[in-house]
Amino acid sequence: MRDEVKKHIEDSLAKIRAIYEKAAERIETLPVDGKSKIPGTTLAAEVGKEFGIAGPTMYPTMLFLYKDYPGTVLKKGAHGGIYRVDPKAAVADEPAVIDVVELDNDSK
């Protein structure tokens, strides 16, 4: 791979890192009570606004951060969102669920 391509990839990943760090900061502000939440689409819109990217455009990229985020449960539907939970508490009885795409599958 050409050096300029490698540099471009590294620069792009640095931008994604900044986006994920901003989103993680917001997730970390949620109380660890299993009741307070932020919808994934809302978080994508909030973070996207700071980077000049529309929420619906940002959301698919944010799914990689949301999936398996430590100490959270993802719920879909009208009452869905990202909930912070105490991993030692019984609140964490629901598995993380993403209703858009299974990120572990290889795209063909």
Query: For the segment 80-99, what is each residue's pLDDT rounded down to a tens digit?
Result: 899 999 877 654 445 444 44
Rounded distance, CA 26 to CA 55, Å? Answer: 15
Q: For the chain, how many structural domains are there in total?
A: 1
Q: Tell me if 103 is assigned to some domain.
A: no
* CATH number of the structural domain spanning residue 76: 1.10.10
Rounded distance, CA 2 to CA 103, Å? Answer: 29
AA letter at 19: I
Q: Tell me if 49 is assigned to some domain.
A: yes
SS3 37: strand
Percent residues over pLDDT 70 in the chain: 81
Q: Tell me if 75 is assigned to some domain.
A: yes
Q: Tell me if 104 is assigned to some domain.
A: no
What's the pTM? 0.77
Q: Tell me if 107 is assigned to some domain.
A: no
pLDDT at residue 105 above 80? no
- In tens, the pLDDT along 33-42 reads 988 999 999 9
Q: Tell me if 29 is assigned to some domain.
A: yes
Domain containing 55 equals 3-93
Q: Tell me if 108 is assigned to some domain.
A: no
AA letter at 50: E
Across the chain, mean pLDDT equals 85
